[in-house]
Amino acid sequence: MQVKFRKKSQITLPMAVVEQLELKEGDKMEVEIINQTVCLTPFESKKRKPTETADLTKKEYFEKNNTIKNNSKLYFECLGHFAIYNYGKLVLLSNKKAEELIAFLICERGYPVLKETIATFLWPQAEKRKSMECLYKVWKYICNLSQMNIEIPIISERNHMYFNSDDCVIDLEQFESYYENRRDIRSCEAAIQLYRGPLYYHQCYNWISQWEAYYEIRFWKLIEVVIEYYQRKDMLDIVEKYRNIIARYEC
């Protein structure tokens, strides 16, 4: 997606972006540059849904998350290594492009994406007709998973595809929920625990950089929040724990 740089240092966001983020005139945006990537983030949008307070200890958090994973028909782990679970059992896909298609549409958060756009991202070196053929074959593979009672909720409608997360659990959505409630220190800590590593770690997707930066920015903001909180409480042992997390990721 391209935008034009205009006079007075202005750019115009495409309507698709405005609608997806539910922006309106007067909304504030956070602007940051990460690895030469300009990242725009809606600032405390009033339209966001209220979230559950994560008033949990670390042990309780993992127990709760494992319970969610074991009781979910489909659970998608995206932070760190990409994995799909069916009632707690790991689902292994033999088709790596099918896995990439799922990963791509999850990042689009339910927003319909043109099939031609998807094909271009997943098969950038292929001709248009060939890439569309590849997309069709991958889609057929995903549909056939239903024979094993694995129903990946990708919806194909005319020229678009999108991921319907209504009946599944995605750790990215959990992370966002905690992040939105970051005024609660327990929510911050729960989000940090959920962040097992960069988005789709070790997956060499050519479209991943902007999404990886998006979640990484949030992760580091949460680290800053908890360190400042425990410094004010003079709980230096916990401060040191989170500084060790910083050191681990910087290595």
Asked whether the predicted pLDDT for residue 85 surpasses 60, the reply is: yes
Pairing of strands 75-77, 169-170: parallel
Average pLDDT along the chain = 84
Task: Identify the CATH assignment for 5-42 out of 2.30.30, 1.10.287, 2.60.40, 2.10.260.
Answer: 2.10.260
pLDDT of the residue at 248: 82
Q: pTM, whole model, 2 decimals?
A: 0.73
Judge whether residue 121 has pLDDT over 60.
yes
**CATH 2.10.260 intervals, the chain:** 5-42
- pLDDT (average), residues 54-63: 52
- The CA distance from 179 to 14, in Å, is 26
Task: Read off the pLDDT band of 66 (50, 70, 90).
Answer: confident
Phi–psi pair at 179, nearest 5 degrees: -65, -40
Number of H helices, E strands in the chain: 9, 11
> Is 141 strand, coil or helix?
helix
* pLDDT value of residue 102: 98
pLDDT at position 77 over 70: yes
Every domain of the chain with CATH number 1.10.10.10 lies at 53-251
Q: pLDDT tens digit string along 174-232?
A: 999 999 999 999 999 999 999 999 999 989 899 999 999 999 999 999 999 999 999 99
What percentage of the chain exceeds 90 in pLDDT?
66
Q: Cα separation of 195 and 199, whole Å?
A: 9
What does the alpha-carbon distance between residue 74 and residue 82 come to, in Å, rounded to a whole number? 13
Question: Residue 78: its pLDDT value, please?
Answer: 97
Q: Please tell me the predicted confidence (pLDDT) of residue 247.
A: 87
Kindly tell me if the per-residue pLDDT of 26 is higher than 90: no
Q: Who has greater pLDDT, 113 or 249?
A: 113
Cα Rg of the chain (Å, integer):
20
**Does residue 100 have a pLDDT over 70?**
yes
Q: Is the pLDDT of residue 43 over 70?
A: no
Q: Tokens for 212, please give them.
A: 């990886």
* Distance (Å, whole) CA 6 – CA 201: 36
The domain defined by 53-251 folds into Arc Repressor Mutant, subunit A (1.10.10)
DSSP secondary structure letters along 186-206: HHHHHHHHH--SSBTTT---T
Give the Cα separation of 224 and 227 in Å (integer). 5
122-150 pLDDT tens trace: 999 999 999 999 999 999 999 999 999 99
